Homo-oligomer: A and B are copies of this chain.
Amino acid sequence: MARNKRHLEQKVKKEEIELVAMALLKEKGYDNTSMAEIARSAGVAANTIYWYYENKDDVLLAVLNRVVSQAIADVMALQEQPLRTRVLMLIAQVESSGSLMTDVHSRVSHSPKVRAWHDRFHTMVEQLSVSELVKAGVNLAEALLDARVLIYVIEGLLAHPHELQEREQIVDHALKRITGQLKIPSQVKTPSQAKT
């Protein structure tokens, strides 16, 4: 029982470090968050983190896995929604993780592990996009190129700040260009035009 409790609390300790790291990395980004700060927030000595993780990039990867799992879960929950809605949801979801995606890109050249994670993630998103586009009526031969275009647009939207409305416009426009025509009526009207 005591052993059990202890075992639990140890897992909890790592969990706590990861949650604290996630909050800090989301809020302030990789470079502006020091290991010392993460440790302090988690209530441990600075070097204690190195018992759980090899280095700072490994902490980043642990956080990224959490963030991505959550994002996937959220987007999966919208299975029946139209593509437009799901793309916008994905962007909003990832955006709430602050500069994490930019951080990944900038760490790719420092850490092979981060590079591997990035490549896997990219492939996954690409496959998802292809199947989404095929479902939306794009023929398979072109879907691969269209998926790339769509992903780059999404990445661009994530890397640069946009008004919500502007973001929707760009997504709508890109999807229109890709699928040929908008399949579903959009709600891009300004709030002031809401009826009754």
A: residues with CB less than 8 A from B are: 29, 31-32, 99, 102-103, 105-106, 109-110, 122, 142, 145-146, 148-149, 151-153, 155-157, 159-160, 169-170, 173-174, 177-178
A170 touches which of B31, B99, B145 (Cβ 8 Å)? B145
A174 touches which of B99, B122, B149, B160 (Cβ 8 Å)? B149
**CB neighbours of A155 from chain B (8 A):** 152, 155-156, 159
Integer count of this chain's copies in the complex: 2
24 contacts between A and B (CB under 8 A): A29-B109, A31-B106, A31-B110, A99-B109, A102-B105, A102-B106, A105-B159, A106-B106, A142-B173, A145-B170, A146-B173, A148-B170, A148-B173, A149-B149, A149-B170, A149-B174, A152-B152, A152-B157, A153-B153, A153-B156, A155-B156, A155-B159, A156-B156, A177-B178
Closest to A155 in B: B156
CB pair A173 B149 closer than 8 Å: yes
Q: A148-B156, A156-B148, A169-B145 are in contact. Are A103 and B105 (CB under 8 A)?
A: no
Closest to A166 in B: B148
CB pair B173 A145 closer than 8 Å: yes
CB distance from A161 to the nearest CB of B (A): 10
CB distance from A129 to the nearest CB of B (A): 13
Q: Which 9 A-B pairs have the closest CB atoms?
A: A152-B156, A106-B106, A145-B173, A177-B177, A152-B153, A152-B152, A149-B174, A148-B170, A102-B105
A122 touches which of B122, B145, B153, B160 (Cβ 8 Å)? B160
